[in-house]
Amino acid sequence: MVVSADFAMVVSENPIIISGLDIKVIVRDLDQKPNAITLNENATVQELYAKVHEELKYPIDKFELCGASSQILGEEDKDVTMARLLDKLRTANPESGSSSSTTKISLMVTKKTEWEGEEHSHYFNTADADEVPSFGTPATIGPSAAPSVTWQPSIMSSGGYVLGSSSSSYSPCKFVGLSNQGATCYMNSLLQALFHVPALQRAVFQMPTEHETKKRRRVSGQHPAVVTRDNGVQQAQDSVALALQRVFYRLHYNATSVGTKALTKSFGWDALDSFTQHDVQELDRVLCDNLEEKMKGTEVEGAVPGLFRGKLKNFVKCIGVDFESVREEEYYDLSLNVKGCKNLTESLKNYVEVENLDGDNKYMAEGHGLVDAEKGCTFLSFPPVLHLHLKRFEYDPMKDANVKINDRFEFDQVMDLAPYLEKIEGEQHPPLNYLLHSVLVHCGDVHGGHYYAFVRPTCGKDWFKFNDEVVSRVTMEEAVSQNYGTSEDGEAIAPPAKRGISNLHRKFSSAYMLVYVREDAASEVLRPMKEEDIPAHLRDRFTEESTENDSKKKEKRDAHLQMHVKIATHRDMRDHNSSELVDWDKVLKLTARKDDSFQQLRKTLEETTHIPAERQRLWYCIGRKNCTIRPEVLIRDEADFKKYVGNQEPEFPGASNCSCFLEELPEGADADFDLPPDEEKPALLFFKLFDCLKGTLTFVGHTIVSTSSTLGDVIKKAREELLPELADEELLVYEECTPNDLRKQTQMCKPIKDFEWQVGDIVVLERWGPGGREAAPRDMRSATGHYDFLINNVEVRFRDIAAPDKDVFTVVLHSKSAYYDILEKVAGKLKADGEDRGGEFFQLWKPMSHQPEAPQSFPWMPDEDSKLDSIHFASANNQDKCVLFFERTDFDIRDLEKKILLGLKVPLGNPQPSKGIYWAVVDKEHWIEEAIDVACARVPELPRSRAMLIKVVKCRGTVPQPGNNAPRQGGMEMMNYQVLVAHKEVPAVAEEEELSAENSNYEDMANNAVVVYHFDMERGQRMVQVERYWGTPLVFLPIDGESVGEFKARVRRQAYNDVQAGEEDKGGEEGAGEEELPNWRVVVLGPHGILDEEYAMEDDAALIDHVALIHGEDAKGRCYAIEHPDKNRHANANRTQEKSIRIAR
């Protein structure tokens, strides 16, 4: 049981008063009753503990006092006086505005109490979400564990947030919460409900993750002084299984709330996802589906469906005809209506209610035609754990928006589902009781809110509220009846004495998901977890993680007493093989106390690098003005060490205080080995060899010379000591000042001091081979070219546009690589990998600037400026975000120098725009005809004789005229074209005719074509100006002798047929009925979408005359349009506003 008490020293209430030699402290308990404790300023912390024990009756061995300095007052502080303690507290919390005589601090205390018998709710306060405390090893885990628990203290600042926790050993807690990352309350609620189903826990813990625990890089074998040794290999991301195992494990053993960052990272979520609230029922389905998929092929395969899957039967039974259609389907949750239902029983009856199909809604029975029928469903089985989703959010057509339904909806703690099972003649189902286990509540409205969960872990009498980090015991009324929703008059139901602000809160709170457990399966499903249910490899791994986190916390506490030293050796330089000496982020990093001696550091270096102390020579490195880090000073003795190393301060928290180069001397050499006389200035020079034949840059070693030595002498010594095998080859000499400043040196007789060479400089030797530069191929890269590539290289991940979420290969490219160079790399790489299918061409796609992992809507068009550096990648320093996409095509992109590229859409019989795009390379002069030919070749059902190319922009279309007026290349303009069918007659009205010879000319078709737009008015909006067009325009060819009235009917009929076809393609409900057709208005719109009364369409007028009037010069900007509702409008709006939940597979 957890109990908290605030030891609050609040300035405004003057709780701490320094009066002479006395210090007065006001201690507040759970009931906010102040208790005064007075101590002399010379009293110690040990006496403070005794006083709290004596006056507040807290067991002396069951609580700890903590200060805002983020350290517990423990055994080592027992002799600290009150005066010194107050001084420390002021220093630790300067923001509190404390004066010399007052301070402000909040303290937390722990006491051990029996779980039963408490009359009030108890709250778990939380520490850092992702830090794991140490813990003990319980024999039993879960609600039926030991009757008492130890709640360990957290240190809370005066502002109420948690700063840290004790590092002592913890016993398992009763229950703890989950940290909210921003908007993850919906996930926390679901995880708590799933966690308290032990049968699911067992299955999750048995998912195979041993390979991940074995691959994990361990630090337990490293020297205690080693902070990290980064070899550039990134730690593999946890799988969903391992991350969920960690969360469940910590919910058992943590004393404070559990973090979920590793879990959401395993989902593939980023920071933005953590601040986006989703639907808890959607996450329930996605997460359980993901777990079920990952359990396949393991010993726990089928565990998820075994717990949550039921089966129902959908049927349509004909009346008067011996025909019945039956389809069985499985379900993992049930979505039940709230609107119009008073309780769960009514909603379930509504779910299985039989619907009569008669009148205009008859059923089409195979072989019998349209007949009357009954349609409904019945349950074949219910799962052991039943998830019920209450449909609190629905679309309101009057408001044209989603709304939340807070209507009162009652549900029982015990429910019999036997009446809803399929009835078998002559048999009576025995009672099938289900016990209410969890209630997931949504507080708020459709625009946002908060989720929390009420759980009854054993389906007994005890209910607990899990509200992110806070866990509390609650009454049955708080968990159940107060979450029914509002009454008919809009008021939440509550006793009169309790109505007020809390009742107002309940007006917006209502149950959203219910979890029931079948009574006869409860003993097995809810059987408490035991330690042996968790595999040993998981216990070992999570224990190790806990130890590491404790070490990190201790390191943070002691950071002001320590210094960090980065040590570079020849091994690091040989592994680097790039510009600069080393990558300082990948070298050995040691931690040492600031008062350590030079000899202690040398001993540590001997233990970590295995270089004997007598063979060590340490050079202190500095950051030069040109932003490079190079050795500068030789550390000879203790005085040098204190001056250059021990006296440094980090530039920012966690930074290394200094960097050093550790030179390994030859065996038997003294400390002055190879150093010039004292009167001469030494120069420590590092040498690299660039082999032009191999294109490789290699570190070869270092040498020490006098600055008075000539360049020739230096190179001669380097050849003899470092490159004896190249004694007879010509070598060119460069100085690497910075990665982008490589200076060639040719004056061999000049002393190196004239070149300003000094300790730490880098010399690059360029080798061209035995024949010299003259014999080398012309395309061979020089040292300067190689350094240019090192500076400007970009690691690009390539993906197939057909599968834009998956990397196919990675290539390192120069940032100045041209379009066709990149294209050759793609083709060459695919051929080398055996993925070239032969006879294929490729084109490239850039990523979106705001979504760098997704391709743009149109391909990257090559031109003179088409270079890699023209692409705006997400970050120049974040190469894993550099992504390009390629597409296999049947045309050569090089043809675009004389032709143009069009992205064509062909929406057949569907007013919604087609998503599929057909790319066509067409001649600039005959681009319209060729585009139609390509579309007809790709879509055989497209009639060539009536196919027309239409330019569609924002759902409004125009007919381009033949000729040399081709669109410009690049951008969205080349994707604005659709190939539509020009309607001569509607098949449902008359038999379709082929165009006559005089109309077969495309130019005549383009001149006579009538384009009709779709538009939809807001409900209640006056028909004055159209603000919203939708869908793909219709194209019609006038019929001889046709009147305007007949044309209107033809437009309505074609629009109706297209809508019906579109609904059938999507497998959705049928569209509008034919009785609505007279309400679909066909009008003339003027410029800016304003209804044009001047050109009103009189039904008895001749269509051909009216078309000539609309297409005339005086009527410029006018068009035909039909008003009818867009059924996809609301769905499309929801899709753009809310991103669906995804979990990485």
**What average pLDDT does this structure show over 688-706?**
93
**pLDDT over threshold 50, residue 160:** no
Q: Using 50, 70 and 90 to split pLDDT, how confident is the model at 231?
A: very low
Q: Using 50, 70 and 90 to split pLDDT, how confident is the model at 389?
A: very high
Which tops the pLDDT comparison, 309 or 55?
A: 309
Quick one: DSSP state of residue 409? -
**Range name among 124-128, 823-827, 912-916 with the lowest pLDDT average:** 124-128
The top-scoring range by mean pLDDT among 194-198, 210-214, 538-542, 1092-1096 is 194-198
**What average pLDDT does this structure show over 192-200?**
95
- Token couple for 416: 């019999």
Pairing assessment for the beta strands 629-635 and 616-623 based on DSSP bridges: antiparallel
**pLDDT over threshold 70, residue 692:** yes
**Range name among 115-124, 180-189, 640-649 with the lowest pLDDT average:** 115-124
Pairing assessment for the beta strands 588-593 and 562-568 based on DSSP bridges: antiparallel
Task: Round to whole Å and give the CA distance between 593 and 583.
Answer: 25
Percentages helix, strand, coil for the chain, rounded to the nearest 5? 30, 30, 45
pLDDT reported for residue 203 = 94
pLDDT reported for residue 276 = 85
Residue 859: closest CA among 818, 825, 826, 901: 901
How confident is the model over 928-958, as pLDDT tens digits? Answer: 777 777 777 777 777 777 777 777 777 766 7
pLDDT reported for residue 1129 = 58
Helix ranges restricted to H, 692-745: 711-722
Which tops the pLDDT comparison, 753 or 33?
A: 753
**What average pLDDT does this structure show over 135-156?**
34
Task: Round to whole Å and give the CA distance between 131 and 257.
Answer: 9
Q: In what order do the strands lie in the sheet with 841-845?
A: 807-814, 793-800, 883-889, 841-845
CB neighbour list of residue 690: distance below 8 Å, 6 or more residues apart? 696, 697, 698, 764, 765, 766, 767, 783, 786
**What average pLDDT does this structure show over 459-482?**
91
**What average pLDDT does this structure show over 423-448?**
88
**Range name among 270-279, 312-321, 887-896, 1072-1081 with the lowest pLDDT average:** 1072-1081
pLDDT reported for residue 396 = 75
Q: Using 50, 70 and 90 to split pLDDT, how confident is the model at 1053?
A: confident
pLDDT reported for residue 37 = 75
The top-scoring range by mean pLDDT among 354-368, 541-555, 560-574 is 560-574
The residue written with tokens 């379009």 in the block is 819
Indicate if the alpha-carbon torsion angle 352, 356, 361, 363 is positive or negative: positive
pLDDT reported for residue 726 = 87
**pLDDT over threshold 70, residue 82:** yes
The top-scoring range by mean pLDDT among 25-39, 321-335, 642-656 is 321-335
pLDDT reported for residue 684 = 95
The top-scoring range by mean pLDDT among 429-433, 647-651, 878-882 is 429-433
- Token couple for 1061: 């076809």
Pairing assessment for the beta strands 616-623 and 658-664 based on DSSP bridges: antiparallel
Q: Using 50, 70 and 90 to split pLDDT, how confident is the model at 707?
A: very high
Largest CA distance in the chain: 118
DSSP 874-943: S-TT-GGG-EEEEEEESS-GGGGGTEEEEEEE---S-SSPP---EEEEEESSSHHHHHHHHHHHH-TTS-
**Range name among 121-135, 255-269, 738-752 with the lowest pLDDT average:** 121-135
Express as a percent the part of the chain with pLDDT over 70. Answer: 70
How confident is the model over 2-21, as pLDDT tens digits? Answer: 333 333 333 233 333 333 45
Please write down the HEC assignment for all residues of 488-535.
CCCCECCCHHHCCHHHHHHCCEEEEEEEEEEHHHHHHHCCCCEHHHCC
pLDDT reported for residue 922 = 76
pLDDT reported for residue 654 = 42
Task: Round to whole Å and give the CA distance between 620 and 633.
Answer: 5
Structural contact between residues 1069 and 991, judged by C-beta atoms closer than 8 angstroms = no
The top-scoring range by mean pLDDT among 243-252, 1029-1038, 1039-1048 is 243-252
**pLDDT over threshold 90, residue 635:** yes
**pLDDT over threshold 70, residue 720:** yes
Residue 371: closest CA among 383, 356, 384: 356
Q: Tell me which H or E stretch contains 379.
A: strand 373-381
The top-scoring range by mean pLDDT among 160-174, 227-241, 799-813 is 799-813
Angle among Cα 1006, 1009, 1011 to the nearest 5 degrees reads 120
Long-range contacts of 321-325 (CB under 8 A, 24+ apart): 321/365, 321/368, 321/371, 323/365, 323/366, 323/367, 323/368, 323/371, 325/365
CB neighbour list of residue 1085: distance below 8 Å, 6 or more residues apart? 1013, 1015, 1026, 1091, 1092, 1118, 1119, 1120, 1121
pLDDT reported for residue 547 = 85
Q: Using 50, 70 and 90 to split pLDDT, how confident is the model at 1069?
A: very low
pLDDT reported for residue 715 = 94
Express as a percent the part of the chain with pLDDT over 90. Answer: 31
- Overall pTM surpassing 0.75 (yes/no): no
Which tops the pLDDT comparison, 914 or 190?
A: 190
pLDDT reported for residue 695 = 87
**pLDDT over threshold 90, residue 89:** no
**pLDDT over threshold 60, residue 993:** no
Burial (0-12, 13-18, 19+ Cβ within 10 Å), 758 = middle
pLDDT reported for residue 751 = 94
**pLDDT over threshold 60, residue 215:** no
Beta-bridge partner residues of 374: 317, 356
Structural contact between residues 686 and 581, judged by C-beta atoms closer than 8 angstroms = yes
Structural contact between residues 358 and 499, judged by C-beta atoms closer than 8 angstroms = no
Residue 922: closest CA among 899, 895, 947: 899
**Range name among 37-46, 57-66, 194-203, 397-406 with the lowest pLDDT average:** 57-66
**What average pLDDT does this structure show over 1088-1114?**
75
- Token couple for 462: 């005890």
Q: Using 50, 70 and 90 to split pLDDT, how confident is the model at 120?
A: very low
